[in-house]
Structures are given as structure tokens and as C-alpha cells.
Amino acid sequence: MSKRNYFKYTKSKTERNWSYFKSKTPEEDLHKFINVKNPDKHPRFKNAYELQIQAYKKIHGEFPLVRFYDFKKQMAKYAKLMYDGDFGFKEEYESPHFLPDGYFIKYDKKTNDLEIFLLEVENHSRVTDEKLNTIIWWWLQSIDAEQYCPIYLLEFNRFGGFQRQVINEGYEEDGFKLLKSYMNNE
């Protein structure tokens, strides 16, 4: 983040309500998360928020293109591209009923292929059977129904370290390594 942009976020005469800030980049997402979970403003949750911020910073450091906000809007955008913007998009696509802690969407314009990486941080929200079923059904009915679209669900521990791959519906066996390769190639 450049100095100019840093001061744009930190210097203001009135306190900004970060919950309503519309982030447009992964860096802005992280900055918003840090300010929303500000441990100094929430002394009761200070330790928990500091741990969450530490985990998100570590994930962002390892995967700089991973986003933390606007999942539903981004998915609608890419699903519309995948459906070629036809009437089927309005009929078939259903907005997800869940929010991942982090996500990365890989879209190839030439082949109209979409890959979805969902990241869950154990300390923030755990992957339960109910959430897993919600994710799978949304993916099967709204995304994969139109054309094949790989989805990977990666779980991280409360310190931001990779734990396990929960869902792998792609060609690659290791979604973690694939996501890492996308971070280096973009």
C-alpha cells in the first residue's frame, strides 16, 4: 500500500465507520478487517481479535490476492460471465447463503472457465457439516449445473497456518499448491 493510500485510510477528521467501507482490492480488504476488528475498541474481545488479525495477516502475506469481503457480489459477477449473461443466469443462479472467511476466484476469459477457492479460518468460523452441505448444494445447483467449475475449500488454523483441504472438486489433487501457484502467476 502506498504512503498516499495509507494516509487516505488513517487520516480523517472524523472517525470512519469501517463496516460500511467498500473495499476494492485485497489490501483494502485486510485494512478494513483490521479496522473493523480493532482490539483497542473492543477490550472484551481484545485477545480474540488480535489472534484473528494475526491469522488474516499471515494468510494475506502468503496469498496476497485472496479477498475477504464482497464474496456474493464477486460470485454473481463471475457467474454471469460464465452463463454468458443470458436469461439462464437469472433463472439458474442463486446467491450463496454462506460467507467464507476468504476467497479467490480464478476466471479465464478465453475458455470461460471458473475456479473457486474458499478459505475458512478455524478461529473465526468453523467448517460444520451444515455449512459444508450449504456450500456443496449452492455449488452444485448454481455454479456447476451450467458448466464444470472446480471448487476447493481450504481450512486454516487460528494462527493462519494451513490445516487441511476439506473439499477438492478440481483436477488438481492439492488445492493449496494450486492456489499458491496462482498467487505467483497473477
- Rounded to whole angstroms, the Cα distance separating 45 from 42 reads 6
- Rounded to whole angstroms, the Cα distance separating 29 from 164 reads 24
- Rounded to whole angstroms, the Cα distance separating 23 from 66 reads 13
Tell me the sheet residues that pair with 152: 117, 168
Domain ranges of the chain: 71-185
SS3 69: coil
Angle among Cα 139, 52, 31 to the nearest 5 degrees reads 85
Class of domain 71-185: alpha beta
Q: Which of 92, 106, 94, 89 is nearest to 149 (CA)?
A: 106
**pLDDT one digit per residue (tens) for the chain, 186 residues:** 555 555 455 544 445 678 788 889 999 999 999 888 888 888 888 888 888 899 999 999 999 999 999 999 998 888 888 777 665 666 667 788 888 999 999 988 888 888 999 999 987 567 888 889 999 988 888 887 777 889 999 999 989 999 989 989 888 788 999 999 999 765
- pLDDT computed for residue 42 by the predictor: 80
